[in-house]
Chains A and B, each alone.
Chain A
Amino acid sequence: SAVISQKPSRDICQRGTSLTIQCQVDSQVTMMFWYRQQPGQSLTLIATANQGSEATYESGFVIDKFPISRPNLTFSTLTVSNMSPEDSSIYLCSVEDPLRAGAAFFGQGTRLTVV
């Protein structure tokens, strides 16, 4: 399975600041996905990031708040901008394994606390 590394694993941030989360994959993948998991809740898709094109955002998520970069086939970043306590969540990067069609794997997540 694809190995996904996320940085940082956790952070505590001040209200109004921004945090950039990095996602590195050990193989080239076409699509990368960013999810949010609020405390005790399920996972919700934020956006899909394809290399060479702008990310596609889900309803309720906007580029100004969650800008995404996808500079190559193994790396992506998600920025959480102008943070408020409501942004406190686990943010997860996911990719579809190129060798196992449909199988999606997740990083360990970034646990963000906004104070």
Chain B
Amino acid sequence: QQQVKQSPQSLIVQKGGISIINCAYENTAFDYFPWYQQFPGKGPALLIAIRPDVSEKKEGRFTISFNKSAKQFSLHIMDSQPGDSATYFCAARDTGRRALTFGSGTRLQVQP
């Protein structure tokens, strides 16, 4: 099964708060786990990514936590800002096919 399950579907966070989005997968052939940010009318933009041999990766206010045994990974946005309001997609890349399978997306709204 190629699915990547993402939750929550939508999220409202106050400015300065922490936004947390979770994803789970089943396919053990996935070898790369990126997160994308998409604003209305734009293509998805690569935000941060992690490989399964690493448990955590941090870039600025964005952190990915990865639990290989549980087949779960999550995105944490620290000090959330109104400019972070967008739709976020987790994804997973198949080693052989090299194409991405996307989660269903999370619409984040950061209130000022």
Q: Give me the interface of A with B, judged by CB distance under 8 Å.
A: 1, 4, 31, 33, 41-45, 48, 92, 94, 96, 102-109, 111
- B61 CB within 8 Å of chain A: no
Are A42 and B105 touching (Cβ within 8 A)?
yes
How far apart are A53's CB and chain B's nearest CB, in angstroms?
Answer: 14
Chain B residues contacting A31 (CB-CB under 8 Å) are 98
Q: Give me the interface of B with A, judged by CB distance under 8 Å.
A: 31-32, 34, 36, 41-46, 49, 51, 89, 93, 97-105
Chain B residues contacting A92 (CB-CB under 8 Å) are 43-44
Across the interface, name the chain B residue whose C-beta is closest to A110: B43
Are A105 and B102 touching (Cβ within 8 A)?
no
Chain B residues contacting A108 (CB-CB under 8 Å) are 42-43
Chain A residues contacting B31 (CB-CB under 8 Å) are 102
Chain A residues contacting B32 (CB-CB under 8 Å) are 102
Contact of B46 among A33, A105, A107 (CB under 8 A): A105
Are B42 and A103 touching (Cβ within 8 A)?
no
